Amino acid sequence: MKLKFRNGLNLIYSRSNSFRRPAAVERCFSRCTERGEDRFIGAGVSKKDRIEVKTLQQISFKHLLLGVLLLFTYFGFGEPANNPARKQFTILFYNVENLFDTLDDKHIQDNEFLPGSKKNWNTTKYEKKVNDIARVIASVSPSDFPELVGLCEIENRSVLNDLVRAESIRGSRYQIIQEESPDPRGIDVALLYRPGEFREISHEAIPVRYENDPKNKTRDILYVYGKLGDQPVHIFVNHWPSRVGGEEESEAKRVWAASVLRKKVDEILAKDPSARVMIMGDMNDEPTSKSLSETLGAAGPKSGAKLVNLMLPEKEAGHGSYYYRGDWNMLDNLVVSSGLLFGKKLKVVAGKGFIFSQDWMIFETKNGDKSPNRTYAGEKYTGGVSDHFPVYFKLSAN
């Protein structure tokens, strides 16, 4: 890319990564100006980050430095500033199905995913899964990386570090927000964000503790407050208790999780009725289930409710993010406040959410039934990425 500035300065900039040492670059410019050179590769700047500077002899260092500062402002470096002029944001949630490393953690029940276990989990399988998840994230928004990515069923910070360094999404420079939860298996929720588009202000893990069964532990709800572009947003990442033991038999646990979430959301909306709230997660319930529709109070996009489930239209169309015994279930939900559905500065595009899938993520049986291609079917390794499809929505920034 060629950038033209006044006073005869032309900079031809080709980057693989943004600058991280502006002081070193400034010294290089200074040396080149003194020597009358047309090309330099300076200390702290890799060979891939080359700049050709023409007519350096004809301009003062003052003007040259001004050009460099403009260049940094345009492309960013280190921890970039927010970009409020951006017109769209992609918000993604993905249950990645048991993303465990291969190391034994004595504090959790991870024996199922260790070398030598019945599943024979190993480094090759782990690395494939990490790369496949990264490929999914990169594919959701081909023109750019999703700005916010909620995840569940991740073991620890280490697997998240490996994920954000995967080749497919390395360029996003995703930052990680994650807290260890008390889940016996050690699976947590997390939020990835692009630092140029989102700025974290605070976060906390909200515990879900059952009044009548305090020893029964499940995942915390991750609450993150920050700015998307230049607008404040409240984000909740969830993974509610499973349906193990039966949907009806386990319903009370998910209703309780919904009540914990609703209490926090009510506190936010009481202070600011127009607050921008995003709720994402694998709720192990559908948009029409009691936990979501009654306890949380999330209704359809045309309901006029304070909280709107963006995945209800997909559910009503017979679609789902999870396939179980011949039926599609919409277990992965995206809920927003009316401040985002009808907002002026941030607004949900198309008024709904979407399910993302591609052919390589799908398993097809001999009779033509299709489902998410999971990593394991029982103890059998199938090599798929996850037993869930990710869900997402887009926000327009005016």
Percentage of the chain beyond pLDDT 70 is 78
Q: Which of 260, 265, 291 is nearest to 276 (CA)?
A: 265
Identify the residue with better confidence: 351 or 71.
351
Q: Averaged over 19-41, what is the pLDDT? A: 35
With contact defined as beta carbons under 8 Å apart, do 392 and 140 qualify?
yes
Can you list the alpha helix ranges (DSSP code H) found in 103-186? 123-140, 157-164
Instruction: Note the pLDDT tens digit of each residue in 337-394.
Output: 999 998 889 999 999 999 999 999 999 988 889 999 999 999 999 999 999 999 999 9
With contact defined as beta carbons under 8 Å apart, do 168 and 140 qualify?
no
Ordered by start, the domain boundaries in the chain are 2-75, 88-397
Which of the residue ranges 9-18, 88-97, 119-128 would you say has the lowest mean pLDDT?
Answer: 9-18
CA distance 394 to 144: 12
Instruction: Note the pLDDT tens digit of each residue in 277-300.
Output: 999 999 999 999 999 999 999 999
Q: Averaged over 256-272, what is the pLDDT? A: 97
Query: With 60 as the cut, is the pLDDT of residue 69 above it?
Result: no
CA distance 255 to 295: 6
User: DSSP character for 217?
Assistant: B
Q: Determine the pLDDT at residue 52.
A: 36
Instruction: Note the pLDDT tens digit of each residue in 165-186.
Output: 999 999 999 999 999 999 999 9
Query: With 50 as the cut, is the pLDDT of residue 70 above it?
Result: no
**Ramachandran class of 36: left when φ > 0, alpha when ψ lies in -120 to 50, beta otherwise:** left
pLDDT band at 142 (very low <50, low <70, confident <90, very high): confident
Q: Determine the pLDDT at residue 159.
A: 98
Query: With 50 as the cut, is the pLDDT of residue 154 above it?
Result: yes
Strands laid side by side in the 231-239 sheet = 198-206, 221-228, 231-239, 277-282, 332-337, 307-309, 298-299
Residue with tokens 């991870």: 110
With contact defined as beta carbons under 8 Å apart, do 349 and 342 qualify?
no
Instruction: Note the pLDDT tens digit of each residue in 186-231.
Output: 999 999 999 999 999 999 999 999 887 878 889 999 999 999 999 9
Query: With 60 as the cut, is the pLDDT of residue 37 above it?
Result: no
Q: Determine the pLDDT at residue 4.
A: 35
CATH number of 88-397: 3.60.10.10
Q: Averaged over 90-118, what is the pLDDT? A: 97
Bridge partners (DSSP) of residue 323 are: 328
CA distance 38 to 309: 58
Look at strands 231-239 and 277-282 and give their pairing: parallel
Give kind and range of the element (H or E) at residue 313: helix 312-316
Q: Which of 186, 191, 187 is nearest to 204 (CA)?
A: 191
Residues ≥6 apart with Cβ < 8 Å to 325: none
Query: With 50 as the cut, is the pLDDT of residue 65 above it?
Result: no
Instruction: Note the pLDDT tens digit of each residue in 297-338.
Output: 999 988 889 999 999 999 999 999 999 999 999 999 999 999
Burial of 215 (0-12, 13-18, 19+ CB in 10 A): exposed
Residue with tokens 């993302």: 356
